[in-house]
């Protein structure tokens, strides 16, 4: 990730080459700088992926997931191989089946349609 990300305590940056980062504790324009390694997924996405994995282990396949749980083809393919079925529309989920809402969340209309179709909903919407 190019550029800087800020929080209240420090200015963090990572320009793709950790070796080019200033040493820990060096102050630039009054702010401490430190190199940050690539983190991967945010906490909400990690939680959503875990929810799909746990649902597959607990209930078995198929588990329907509205939209891709994460924008990462490798993760989506891995979950699909285990029995997750990704759908774009809630009407693609058979009535009464189990469905997981992705980390991105859903509209109130989708929640209402799920209720009308008697879907067993697991909400993996990001809380953060």
Q: What is the pLDDT of residue 69?
A: 83
Burial of 35 (0-12, 13-18, 19+ CB in 10 A): middle
Tens-digit pLDDT profile for residues 67-118 = 988 888 999 999 999 999 999 999 999 999 999 999 889 999 999 999 999 9
61: DSSP letter: S
pLDDT digit string (tens) for 6-31? Answer: 333 333 333 444 444 444 544 455 55
Q: Are 93 and 87 in contact (CB under 8 A)?
A: yes
Neighbours of 83 (CB within 10 A): 14
């Amino acid at each position: 990730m190019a550029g800087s990300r800020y929080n209240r305590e420090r200015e963090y940056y990572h320009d793709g080459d950790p070796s080019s980062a200033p040493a820990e504790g060096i102050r630039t324009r009054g702010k401490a700088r430190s190199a940050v390694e690539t983190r991967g997924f945010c906490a909400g996405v990690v939680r959503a992926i875990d929810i799909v994995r746990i649902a597959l282990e607990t209930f078995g396949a198929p588990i329907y997931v509205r939209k891709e749980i994460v924008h990462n083809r490798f993760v989506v393919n891995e979950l699909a191989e285990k029995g997750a079925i990704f759908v774009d529309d809630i009407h693609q989920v058979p009535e009464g089946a189990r469905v997981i809402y992705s980390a991105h969340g859903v509209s109130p209309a989708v929640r209402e349609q799920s209720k009308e179709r008697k879907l067993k909903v697991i909400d993996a919407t990001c809380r953060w």
